[in-house]
């Protein structure tokens, strides 16, 4: 202890008081520096090249920009088979699904009903649920299943029907058969000469699409209906136009209007746009007066229209 005192403590008092105070302050500073250095070692070192926050901020900005772009895109009624590339681009759908749809169409693919859109690569149930109500695929009046019927089957059906017609006529004697087209079922229709089950089915399906017949000659619009057959049965058919189901122009939506065989997509969109911008149509004649449809279409569709 004496050796330590003689070596370190006594020399300390040989300094002037001011110097001794300086030594104390310096010692304290050195101690604090050592203490800080020890404490810092317990904290993780931060790499000066860590860009995590910068990248997060950049991603946040990019997502914001992307969201602003998405807001400009909307959902609207569309036909996946005919929608143009420009309209498709503005449709609120993931880009990969839109590209895959275009590729599918270019390869000759066709969407026959809304549920078939699920087979487009990238489409999932949640996305499909969001857009299902906006998908409109017009019903084809020339039904594809009927196109595949073999001619021999049609011939056999017609021959069988003709035999039934012959037997029926014999049972009726001189009384002439008259069938009202808007009320007739398949049983009544096959009694007409040349009308077998195939044509009876086509007539009923087309009648349902139209909303009823107002003229006998509309039978000629039925897929592949022969002129000769029409001439043979013209005197045996009648039409009660009061049975027609009217289209309420101010209430029917896009898909309902587009189902009618006499209206195309452009005409339906024109009608809908007019209603949106100008309100309800005052009368059926507005379609013609405002050139919402061409004159030929107007004359054909007129019996089916109502603004009530």
Q: Which of 147, 127, 146 minimizes the C-alpha distance to 135?
A: 127
pTM of this structure: 0.45
Tell me 8's DSSP state.
Answer: I
Distances (CA, A) of 155 to 143, 149, 152, 198: 19, 11, 5, 10
Average pLDDT for 261-288: 92
Helix/strand/coil (H, E, C) string of 102-122?
HHHHHCCCCCCCHHHHHHCCC
Cβ contacts of 290 within 8 Å, gap of 6 or more? 274
Region of residue 175 (left: phi > 0; alpha: psi -120 to 50; beta: else): beta
Q: How many CA atoms, within 13 angstroms, populate the side-chain half-sphere of residue 111?
A: 24
Confidence (pLDDT) at 208: 94
Residue 87 has which token pair? 């309209």
Strand partners, 305: 247
More confident residue, 157 or 246: 246
Confidence (pLDDT) at 121: 84
Most confidently predicted of 48-52, 76-80, 156-160, 295-299: 295-299
More confident residue, 169 or 294: 294
User: How far apart are alpha carbons 120 and 103 in whole angstroms?
Assistant: 10
Cβ contacts of 125 within 8 Å, gap of 6 or more? 118
More confident residue, 117 or 1: 117
Q: Which of 284, 286, 290, 289 minimizes the C-alpha distance to 302?
A: 284
pLDDT class of 263 with cuts at 50, 70, 90: very high
Distances (CA, A) of 8 to 1, 25, 211: 11, 17, 117
Question: Of 141-145, 218-222, 286-290, which range is least confident?
Answer: 141-145
Question: Of 75-84, 165-174, 230-239, which range is least confident?
Answer: 165-174
Most confidently predicted of 137-141, 165-169, 272-276: 272-276
Residues belonging to the chain = 308
Contact 214, 241 (CB under 8 A): yes
Distances (CA, A) of 79 to 37, 165, 241, 258, 263: 71, 44, 32, 11, 15
For the stretch 131-146, pLDDT in tens is 887 787 765 433 344 4
pLDDT class of 62 with cuts at 50, 70, 90: low
Cβ contacts of 164 within 8 Å, gap of 6 or more? 190, 191
Strand partners, 237: 179
User: How far apart are alpha carbons 145 and 77 in whole angstroms?
Assistant: 27
pLDDT class of 10 with cuts at 50, 70, 90: low
Contact 278, 284 (CB under 8 A): no
Confidence (pLDDT) at 195: 94
pLDDT class of 267 with cuts at 50, 70, 90: very high
Distances (CA, A) of 28 to 10, 14, 35, 37, 39: 20, 20, 10, 14, 16
**How does the average pLDDT of the chain come out, rounded?**
78
Confidence (pLDDT) at 108: 81
């Amino acid at each position: 202890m004496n050796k330590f005192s003689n070596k370190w403590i006594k020399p300390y008092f040989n300094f002037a008081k001011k110097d001794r105070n300086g030594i104390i302050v310096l010692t304290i500073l050195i101690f604090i520096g050592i203490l800080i250095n020890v404490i810092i070692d317990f904290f993780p070192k931060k790499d000066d090249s860590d860009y995590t926050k910068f990248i997060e901020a950049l991603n946040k900005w990019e997502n914001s920009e992307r969201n602003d772009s998405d807001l400009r895109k909307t959902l609207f009624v569309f036909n996946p088979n005919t929608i143009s590339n420009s309209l498709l681009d503005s449709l609120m759908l993931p880009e990969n699904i839109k590209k895959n749809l275009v590729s599918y169409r270019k390869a000759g693919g066709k969407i026959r009903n809304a549920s078939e859109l699920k087979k487009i690569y990238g489409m999932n149930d949640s996305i499909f649920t969001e857009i299902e109500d906006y998908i409109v695929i017009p019903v084809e009046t020339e039904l594809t299943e009927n196109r595949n019927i073999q001619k021999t089957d049609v011939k056999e059906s017609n021959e069988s029907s003709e035999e039934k017609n012959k037997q029926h006529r014999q049972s009726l004697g001189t009384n002439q058969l008259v069938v009202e087209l808007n009320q007739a079922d398949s049983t009544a229709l096959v009694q007409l000469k040349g009308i077998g089950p195939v044509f009876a089915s086509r007539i009923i399906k087309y009648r349902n699409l139209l909303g009823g017949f107002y003229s006998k000659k509309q039978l000629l619009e039925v897929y592949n209906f022969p002129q000769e057959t029409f001439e043979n049965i013209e005197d045996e058919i009648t039409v009660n136009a009061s049975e027609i189901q009217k289209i309420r122009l101010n209430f029917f939506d896009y898909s309902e209007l587009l189902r009618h065989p006499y209206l195309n997509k452009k005409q339906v969109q024109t009608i809908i746009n007019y209603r949106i911008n100008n309100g309800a149509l005052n009368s059926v004649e507005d379609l013609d007066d405002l050139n919402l449809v061409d004159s030929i279409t107007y004359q054909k569709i007129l019996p089916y229209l109502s603004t009530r």
